[in-house]
Structures are given as structure tokens and as C-alpha cells.
Chains A and B, each alone.
Chain A
Amino acid sequence: MTKWHDLLDKNGRAPSWPYPIRYDKEQEVETDVLVIGGGIAGCWAAISAARTGASVALVEKGDTIRSGAGGPGCDHWCNAPANPLSNVDPDEWAQHMAEPPYSNGIGTQIQCRENWDTLLEMEQMGGKIRDTDDDFVGAIGRDDKSKLMISPRYTKVHSYIPGMIKPKVFKSNPEGKLNNVVIRVWGSTFKPALKNECKRLGVKIFDRVMVTSILTEKGVQGARVVGATGFSNRTGQFMLFKSKAAVLATAGDWSLYVLNTELAGYNTFRSRNITGDGAAMAWRAGAALTAMERSGILMLGTGYKHTWYGGAGDASYENVPLVDAAGKRIPWPTQGWEDAGAMRPSPEEMEKITKAVQSGEYALPFYGDFPAMPDVERRVTWNLMLTEESTTKNIVDSYGRAGFDPAKHLLQNYNFIEGSSLSQWRTAGGGGPVVDWDMKSTLDGLYVAGEQVFSAGDHSFAASTGRYAGRKAAAYSKQVGAGAVSRDRIALEKARIYAPVTRSDGIDWKELHAGIARAMQYFCSEYKTERLLRMGLDALKEIEEVHVPRLYALDPHKLMRSLEDLSLLEHGRIILEASLARRASSRQLNFFRIDYPEVDPPEWNKFVTVRLENNKVVAGELPFDYFGDMKASYEAHNRDYAGVYQGK
């Protein structure tokens, strides 16, 4: 008896909401540092702030124990050039990583300098980072002394794609040894250890609370950040946080262009909770955002394509050779040792493969030939990497239960047979608040970490920038007094967030979500023009004026989903404004305007920024290298950096 309708059948009525309803109650929390978002970045920010002696409140929509994209696990600790097995200089590697246009040189430099220290602290807390049980003795990349396991990823160059990115000889690695910058980890042990450490340090954790707005001094847009509002998505209770400094550690927005809310869930790498709340809040508070016009094509996971682990040439198939239905080897890179971690075929090779498929030379479907691998490498890929990666332990377990044995079975691959991604089905994201060398936004008192930062990286990026932003926010909180929140602003926010529960008819969050997604698909997708983008703004305005006032929510959970829609709507608006401000096309941003067809003209090689001032949009720009020399700037801002935590 586990279904809602089973209870109906048993009791003859729907079950009552299981939590007390407290829409009219308010809890006030005062803290030095407020961390918004309890994923990887948020937990690290809370820990590093608390370790300086600051009082810390950590607010999370789900439960901190397993929340965030990295909550279930993590298999690769990427870009750790400061690790003892690395053959490349951290600063040189950071420079290399930040070469592509629109990179975040600040976050990248922090990651490269500090994520090995971060990983050692993870180990102090109980995270497993070494093959201490000797399960994988003999595997390529395993260092028998330290028991660290180097991954083939980025062994020659970052994000290697043959024909598009050339292998490179680093000054610090003139002999061209493997770079050894990516470490395999047992990341399923990480999140509970982080939550435990937060508790041990006295961090006040508020789980199942959605933050809905950032409060500025006296309610003035663009003024210092002095707190936030939120509500419990179980009880509906209003939450008021007053803080001296805040760290925004929310995530991006992966569902803005996704019409169907049900199919969105299948192993998307990002959960339903990730709806651009942080960018929307920072925008309303007056922070400048950048790279918001970037979007990507939905590739990994989602119900629209097969699950990502079924695709050869991606991480799940590291070192697994791909064969056709007749067992013939396909020249598709394995992201493995033999091809220097190459991620996909070169464009020329891809054309050859496609022709060979069409002529029948390669028989579909393709398969990952696990049985052809040496036993230890097969176990590294299937039992270590896939078991520890974010959401894939259940793949190993449930496939195993269903009879899949990688020593005997070839796993089907879905290249070609699942078709291409439609360009209107996009991932929004990649943009976020502009940050400085303190990971501070353009607003005093507001710091940013993890995926919320523009051009963010992966798990170790989130961890190291979170840890960094936490200590910078804590230092700031010690220099300032408490700020003044505006009661008028709070009253307006209360009216905004509780409006949907005052109604019991109209439209529900799913319909509104689809309506917003459709507007983005039509007006801000593959074909962009000034007219279409302005029509997009009008479409969102119409939705806001006509349909949002009809939005209803029957319980606190649906209220959360409803308010997430309002974040999506705001997020869409920011993307449209940023798209209007960039009057050029850009390959790197996957941004193409019919009215400005020139791709990456030199005068547009810069960040476009957008922000609100007195609720009017102000566009601006920043040079690609606005953060200056990465090594020198990092060192100038971190003279007091103490390395791995030595305290209690």
C-alpha cells in the first residue's frame, strides 16, 4: 500500500497533508553568514565560514543529507593539478582551462589552487578518496603508494575532442607525461559527511525551506544584502533570515525550455528543484548577471533521449570499446587511456561513421563491449565510477538485479537510433552573477559559489568555490554591523508568495511551467531576432499579468513548485534581456541571431552584463580578462590562505 489511491480505497477519503500547515506563522533567524542552497557548494561554504567562528545558517530546499546535483555521489574530482601525482603546474593548468572565451578565470583559478586541499579536508571528514581496501590493484592510473586513482580524463588536454582541440605540451610538463589532474573518488560518501560536519560545527540547518527573495538594506535595489525570506515547503511557514553576509549557492536552471514536467525527471543530472531561483533573486536584488544569453542543447538524460549511461563516448563508458551489432569496433573514442580521454569523434570521423551506418557497413545498434575489457578496468568503470557517480548507483544495482553482467553482456548504445536533439529543447544556464576575487557579486554582502556562478564547473569547482566564498563571506561579516531589513518589502514578498494558496481554481504549476517553456522555445531558441526576442518579453509579460494571478496551489509543496515557476519566468526574462543586449552571434554561447549573423566578431568578444536599477534593465559589458592575471590576482587576494584545515 504505497499509492495515494490505495489510501483512498482503504479510508474512503484522500489522506490529510502529513505536516502541520503554518502559512500564517513566521520564524526569524539572525546569523553572521547565511548560505542559500545546501548542495556541495553550500555545505562547503557553511563549513568554511563556521570554521572561522562565524555563526552560520544553511537553507536548503530538500534535505542537506543528499541534496544538490552532487548529493547522491561523485565519481571524478576534476582539475586537481595541485595533487601530488599531477605532472602539471596548477597555475598553468588553470590558464589552460580558462582559455575558451567566456570562461570564469576566478573560479577556475580557485579550483586549481585549492581543490586538492578541499579534497584532503573531505577525507578528514570521512569522505573516501583512496582505494584503501585494495579493490582495484593493477588498474591503470592507480598509485600503489598513495592509493589514489588517477582517471584518464584530461590526461593530455582539457575536454579533448580530436580535430577540434589539439593536444598541448605544457611548460611545466615538457616531456608530455600524462597530466594526472583528475582523481577518481568515492563521492557517495561525501554529502552525509558534509552534513555531519555542518552539524558538528553548529551550523543551523533549515531543510525543506525554499528561499524566495534576497533582502537588501532598507529594500533598496542594488544596496547591501542583509538577509533573505523563504518558506517551508512542508508546512508553509514563513522564514525571515537576517544576515551580515550571504552566500548564494543555488544552482542553474535546467528546465526552463522543458515543456513536459513528467518526462523531465529521468536522470537529468539535475533534479526538479533546480529552477533558477538564485539568478532570479539576485536579479531582483539588483546584482549584475552575465553570460545569461548562453544556452545548451538537451543532451544528457531526460525522457526525450535515452539515459546518459547508455551512450558510449560519454563518461559512463570510460575505457569501454564501442562495437556495432556484428561486433565490429567503431572508431569512437572511449574517454579512456587509449585515446587520451577524447570525448567524441572528430567531425571528419563522425561523418565517416555516419556514412558507414547509412551504407550498412556498421550495423545498428552499437554496443559497449564490457566483456572485452581487462577485469580490473571493467570493475573500475562499472563498480567504482558508475557506482559513485551522482545518480548512477541505482543503475549498477538495478541492472545487476535484472541480470546484466558486464563480464558477459554488451550494453546497448543509443547513438543514431534515438535521433538528434531538437534545438528548441535547450538547457538554460551557464550564466550567473558577476563575481570578483572574493567571489562577491556586485552587491555588498552577497557572495556566490558553485553552479550559480557564471561559467561554473563541476563537483570540485562547487566544493572549492563554496569553501572559498564561505571564508570570504565570514571575513566580511566580521567587519560590518547588522543591516536594516525593510518591513514593507517583507510584506510585499509575503503577499507575492502566498497568493497561490489563497485560490483553489485557475491554473496549476505544471500548466504555467509549460506555458513559460513554450514562450522560450518560440521566441528565444534557435532563431533569434530583435522582433522575436521582444515578442518573448511580451509573451512573458502576458503570462505574468494574465496567468500568474490565476495560479493556485493546494499545499506547501505545490506552492514551492508554483513559486519555482515564477523564478523560471524571471529567469526567462533575464535571458531575453541579455539576448537583446548581445547584438552578435557566438558559437561558444550557442547564440545565433539572424539580424546579427556574424559569428564572434572581435568587437563582441566580451561579457555582456545585465542588471536592474530602479526596476529598469541596465546592460553593460566586461572584458574577457576583467579578472586580471589569474595567478597574481589570486595570490594578492589570498595572502592569509592557510591551506588544509588544521583546527578541531
Chain B
Amino acid sequence: MPQKKTYALPNIVSPANPVIFNPDICNGCNTCVEVCQIDVFIPNPEKGKPPVILHPDECWYGGCCVNECPCPGAISFNWPVQQRAYWKDKATGKVLRDSSR
């Protein structure tokens, strides 16, 4: 087991991850912070790093943060599990789902 400091924290709000940042691509320009209607994000205290997701429970899944991002791949959309779509392959009849992580 990895050694990790354990804090006394309240439950994590749900949904917690409306988007996922790729820290290797994101340059911390904070465009997403500015285009979000409802301030889901705040700038990272460390310059050049991806913003902090502070209010994920207020996200309306408008998607502007992802659509406006100037660094392709830096931020991607992440539907909560219960909102993920199902579909079916017409040729095989196999039922599929948005199982991306």
C-alpha cells in the first residue's frame, strides 16, 4: 500500500469530475476558468498548472470550458456515470456504452 497522509475530510461532492485535465498538455492559461458561466474552476495557485475544480456540483455540463480550450487534449469532458449514453451496433446488435475513463 502506498504511504499517503490521511485527512479528516467531508464527503467529496458528486458529481466530482465534470472534466478531466491532462497536466502534460494544459499550460494553465485559465481560458476555461474565464468562459465558465458559473465558476466551476479557480486558477491553480501554481502558475502554469491546470485549474482547480472547486465547484463541480454546480456544473451544468454546458461544455464551454472544453470547447474553448486553446490546447487540444488539455481538458476533456466527462459525463457522470448515471448520465452516460447507451447505443447499439446496427450490424451486430451489440449494446455499447460510453465507457471512456
Point out the residue from B16, B55, B61, B77 that lies within 8 Å of A397, measured CB to CB. B77
A515 proximal to B (CB < 8 A) = no
B23 proximal to A (CB < 8 A) = yes
Contact B21 A2 (CB under 8 A): yes
Point out the residue from A16, A18, A408 that lies within 8 Å of B90, measured CB to CB. A408
Instruction: Tell me which of A147-155, A263-271, A491-499 binds B.
Output: A263-271
Q: What 1/0 flags go to A170-213 for Cβ under 8 Å of B?
A: 00000000000000000010000000000000000000100000
A56 proximal to B (CB < 8 A) = no
Chain B contact residues: helix, strand, loop or mixed: loop
A residues within 8 A CB of B64? 66, 71-72
**Separation of A154 and B77 alpha carbons in the complex (Å):** 33
Contact B34 A65 (CB under 8 A): yes
B residues within 8 A CB of A1? 23, 44, 49-50
Q: Which of A1-33 contact B (CB under 8 A)?
A: 1-5, 7-9, 15-16, 18
B residues within 8 A CB of A639? none
Most buried by B among A66, A208, A399, A404: A66
Contact A394 B67 (CB under 8 A): yes
Contact B5 A310 (CB under 8 A): no
Instruction: Tell me which of A44-52, A77-85, A336-344, A409-417 binds B.
Output: A409-417
A-B contact sample (9 more), CB < 8 A, given A2-B20, A2-B53, A412-B86: A66-B62, A262-B15, A392-B63, A409-B90, A410-B88, A410-B90, A412-B85, A412-B88, A557-B39
Q: Which of A367-420 contact B (CB under 8 A)?
A: 367, 369, 371, 390-394, 397-399, 401-404, 408-412
Contact A398 B79 (CB under 8 A): yes
Contact A7 B15 (CB under 8 A): no
A141 proximal to B (CB < 8 A) = no
- What 5 pairs across the A-B complex have the smallest Cβ distances? A394-B63, A62-B37, A402-B98, A412-B86, A271-B60
Contact A265 B35 (CB under 8 A): no
Point out the residue from A268, A271, A412 that lies within 8 Å of B87, measured CB to CB. A412
| Interface size classification for chain A | 35 or more
7 residue pairs from A and B, CB less than 8 Å apart: A2-B23, A4-B52, A62-B36, A262-B13, A310-B85, A393-B63, A394-B77
A303 proximal to B (CB < 8 A) = yes
B interface with A by C-beta (< 8 Å) = 4-5, 7, 9, 12-16, 20-21, 23, 34-39, 42-45, 49-55, 57-64, 66-68, 76-80, 82-83, 85-91, 96-100
A residues within 8 A CB of B77? 394, 397-398
B residues within 8 A CB of A394? 61-63, 66-67, 77
A residues within 8 A CB of B5? 9
Contact A367 B54 (CB under 8 A): no
Contact A409 B15 (CB under 8 A): no
B residues within 8 A CB of A96? none
**Separation of A272 and B55 alpha carbons in the complex (Å):** 11
B residues within 8 A CB of A2? 20-21, 23, 44, 50-53
A67 proximal to B (CB < 8 A) = yes
**Separation of A506 and B88 alpha carbons in the complex (Å):** 50
Point out the residue from B9, B12, B37, B90 that lies within 8 Å of A63, measured CB to CB. B37
A421 proximal to B (CB < 8 A) = no
A234 proximal to B (CB < 8 A) = yes
Answer whether A16 and B45 are a contact pair too, CB < 8 Å, given A66-B35, A404-B98.
yes
**Separation of A135 and B39 alpha carbons in the complex (Å):** 35
A residues within 8 A CB of B96? 403-404, 409
**Separation of A66 and B37 alpha carbons in the complex (Å):** 7
B residues within 8 A CB of A391? 60-63
B residues within 8 A CB of A262? 13-15, 57
How many whole Å from B93's CB to the nearest CB in chain A? 9
Most buried by B among A68, A371, A391: A391
Point out the residue from A3, A261, A399 that lies within 8 Å of B98, measured CB to CB. A399
A465 proximal to B (CB < 8 A) = no
**Separation of A5 and B54 alpha carbons in the complex (Å):** 10
Answer whether A557 and B55 are a contact pair too, CB < 8 Å, given A15-B45, A72-B62.
yes
Contact A67 B67 (CB under 8 A): no
**Separation of A528 and B9 alpha carbons in the complex (Å):** 43
**Separation of A271 and B83 alpha carbons in the complex (Å):** 17
How many whole Å from A602's CB to the nearest CB in chain B? 42
**Separation of A2 and B18 alpha carbons in the complex (Å):** 12
Closest to A61 in B: B37
Answer whether A266 and B80 are a contact pair too, CB < 8 Å, given A62-B36, A72-B63, A409-B89.
yes
